[in-house]
């Protein structure tokens, strides 16, 4: 019995869904016939004397299209060019990073002429000193206008100046560093090649021009003096230039003026000023600029009022209000000892910048 939509006699033969559908799966399209390996002879060919009814067709030779051929040629050309350039101009392996040089340092005491002046108020002393127009703290070390160099971009020059300024602030203005309580904030900025020298300087200080803690940081003798005013007066400059195509150099010249009183003294104890002028030379390679570290190449400091007869290797031992310099000269220098630094001493001018 047919379905609801079928004619009473069923679907006509030859119509849609009729017997033709039973053979639809075995009908071959033209591409299939052309690809057959066996081919039946035509009627005319069969009239000739042929034993087999079919013949074997030769395999089709499908050649590369024009686009594929061009692509293959381009790849071959590029590969050949790469090989040629590699032979003519081979890639050089990156140069090994140059080790940071050890820091060379010197600290020159400046002896006062007579008694060290003092007052009950730090502001009064500042106002009557060469530091009257200095800024307070890090504001006294402004970053200069920056320009790119032949081998370093403007941003790299700015990074070098900022890192050098950061080291000055951490090593000269941090109250914990000044009091000798810690040095890790300054140490954290150093190139890893200089950490051993830094640590040895604090573990085993020596007056050899390489291992003096006061060459790395401003460090006051905590048994003698303490800050009477946290508003340290500062005036400094920074200059950047290339020393070679792989190295950027920053030179700083900064004067720090501290108001001090004797350690443990009452708040109304007389206050005196202590001046440190630091001329530091920093070097930066591209790795230093990338990670924000410095190479401290040179440290030259003048500090006073100090007594020339006292050692300034481990700590700076300031002369305070009303004190005078001890008689005597700095320790002698052996000119035959290559590992010793010359012992120098200068005079502290009362109304001028410190000079040797």
pTM of the prediction? 0.71
> Partners of 238 in the beta sheet?
252
Left (φ > 0), alpha (ψ -120 to 50) or beta: where does 296 sit? Answer: beta
pLDDT tens-digit map of 25-69: 556 566 655 665 556 666 666 666 555 655 566 555 555 577 788
Judged against a pLDDT cut of 50, whether residue 79 lies above it is answered with yes
Report the pLDDT value the prediction gives residue 353, as an integer from 0 to 100.
42
Half-sphere exposure of 101 (CA within 13 A, CB side): 12
CA–CA separation, 170 and 138 (whole Å): 10
- List helix spans (H) across 114-250: 122-127, 154-172, 175-178, 184-187, 195-203, 213-216
Least Cα distance to 299 among 209, 179, 231, 234 occurs for 209
Report the pLDDT value the prediction gives residue 271, as an integer from 0 to 100.
97
Q: Which of 54-68, 76-90, 181-195, 212-226 has the lowest mean pLDDT?
A: 54-68
- List helix spans (H) across the chain: 30-34, 43-47, 66-88, 122-127, 154-172, 175-178, 184-187, 195-203, 213-216, 286-291
């Amino acid at each position: 019995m047919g379905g609801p939509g079928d004619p009473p006699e069923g679907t006509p033969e030859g119509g849609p869904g009729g017997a033709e559908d039973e053979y639809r799966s075995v009908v071959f399209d033209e591409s299939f016939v052309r690809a057959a390996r066996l081919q039946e002879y035509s009627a005319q060919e069969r009239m000739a004397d042929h034993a087999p009814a079919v013949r074997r067709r030769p395999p089709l030779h499908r050649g590369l299209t024009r686009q594929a051929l061009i692509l293959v040629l381009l790849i071959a050309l590029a590969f050949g060019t790469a090989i040629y350039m590699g032979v003519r101009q081979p890639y050089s392996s990156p140069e090994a990073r140059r080790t940071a040089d050890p820091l060379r340092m010197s600290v020159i005491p400046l002896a006062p002429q007579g008694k060290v002046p003092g007052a009950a108020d730090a502001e009064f002393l500042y106002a009557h000193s060469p530091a009257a127009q200095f800024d307070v703290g890090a504001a006294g070390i402004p970053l200069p206008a920056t320009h790119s160099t032949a081998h370093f971009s403007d941003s790299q020059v700015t990074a070098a100046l900022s890192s050098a300024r950061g080291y000055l602030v951490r090593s000269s203005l941090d109250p914990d560093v000044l009091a000798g309580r810690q040095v890790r904030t300054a140490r954290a900025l150093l190139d890893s090649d200089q950490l051993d020298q830094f640590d040895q300087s604090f573990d085993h200080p020596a007056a050899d021009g390489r291992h003096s803690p006061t060459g790395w940081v401003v460090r006051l003798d905590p048994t003698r003096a303490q800050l009477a005013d946290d508003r340290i007066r500062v005036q400094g400059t920074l200059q950047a230039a290339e020393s070679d195509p792989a190295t950027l150099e920053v030179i700083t010249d900064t004067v720090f003026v501290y108001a001090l009183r004797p350690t443990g003294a009452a708040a109304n104890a007389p206050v005196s000023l202590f001046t440190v002028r630091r001329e530091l030379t920093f070097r930066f390679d591209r790795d230093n600029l990338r990670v924000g570290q410095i190479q401290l190449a040179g440290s030259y400091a003048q500090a006073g009022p100090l007594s020339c007869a006292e050692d300034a290797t481990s700590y700076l031992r300031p002369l305070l209000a009303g004190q005078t310099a001890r008689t005597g000269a700095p320790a002698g220098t052996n000119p035959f000892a290559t590992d010793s630094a010359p012992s120098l001493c200068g005079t502290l001018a009362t109304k001028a910048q410190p000079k040797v």
